[in-house]
A and B are shown apart, each in its own frame.
Chain A
């Protein structure tokens, strides 16, 4: 039976490290969390997508870069995901107030503020969480694929794709066991099963790696996985 390499996927830094680096770490944070934050602004705060983009750029430039808000994060208190959303909500509210003051118009802006302060009953926050979960899983998928490539084990990725990812993500039919044997030349059932189980483990480890970037310890990672599972299972099914 061929040996399966031990998974040792490591990011150069954790997300929390990036956070604590302040400005230098903002690029990856912007890349990864832009879409969930934008989805929240569009859905919950009723902004047009282009306006949401502008606001997010302002948010990252002013709030996160100039004011270094992320360096105030206490990772022992609450989730990074919730923290980021709260900061954005306050930023949006302040922006609306600022706009009202500049326009000196007492009527329309009041409605805007009400809109900015409204509860998340419209599922905007739920959508943010779903988008966040999608971003985490998308990153994990890239990580798992890269790991299989680095280990030169296309069979592991191929089996994971044929038996788990294709059917789950694309609704593709399962590639039959007989086809797998032909395609990958497995000498034994144990070898085929070993590859299947290893693929699932690699994906699981990749998910944990991604989440550990913003969770402070293993217990938090477990809790966040459970939380993202519930979010995806019960959250809105809208697509981006």
Chain B
């Protein structure tokens, strides 16, 4: 049954007050348990739903020719040879504070993509595609590793990147 104005009269006034102070972002809308669901969904999302070839030096056809083909975020982040231009575009898309209002993501999910792109480039190509200091980068990986809802494959990715950084 749809919510209607009559519900406003039945509701506790203190609860009602919250409708006058709704945060503008979607960060508040997910419980920690749900962030795991959101992340799983994000990993299944087609790259082209979030990135456009014009965002960097890459094209969709070339992605499809990769072996295995790269279609979604999981394909990209966990690929043995992920194309660096796409990782750069992915990092730019997810960079905190860089997203326009047209592509809102919960901040924690954006962090996963941002650090995921950096970790993939570092592990598969030995390239650090960030100007972050090593200590800050390690702190970022560690912060995400502390999230209970983090997808196991991303956990492995961050752990491997952290170990490799630590050795260098």
Contact = CB atoms under 8 A, between A and B. Distances in A.
Contacts of A141: 3-5, 7-8
A121 to B, nearest CB: 19
Interface in B13-49: 13-26, 29-31, 34, 37-38, 41-42, 45-46, 49
Contacts of A139: 5
B38 A189 contact: yes
B42 A196 contact: no
Interface stretch (B54-62, B99-107, B127-135): B99-107
Interface in A129-188: 130, 133-134, 137-139, 141-142, 145, 161, 163-166, 168-170, 174, 176-178, 181, 187-188
Nearest to B3: A165
Contact of B49 (A142, A190, A229): A190
A203 interface: yes
A193 B30 CA distance: 10
A3 B102 CA distance: 9
A192 B50 CA distance: 12
Given A141-B8, A170-B7, A188-B45, A193 B26 contact: yes
Interface stretch (A79-87, A108-116, A231-239): A231-239
Interface residues of A, number: 49
Contacts of B101: 197
B116 to A, nearest CB: 14
Contact of A137 (B19, B34, B106): B19
A189 B17 contact: no
A196 B26 contact: yes
A174 B30 CA distance: 10
A194 interface: yes
Contact of A161 (B2, B6, B15, B41): B2
A229 B21 CA distance: 8
A19 B157 CA distance: 65
A130 B13 CA distance: 8
Interface of B: 2-26, 29-31, 34, 37-38, 41-42, 45-46, 49-50, 101-106, 109
Interface of A: 1, 130, 133-134, 137-139, 141-142, 145, 161, 163-166, 168-170, 174, 176-178, 181, 187-194, 196-197, 200-201, 203-204, 207, 225, 228-229, 231-233, 235-237, 239-240
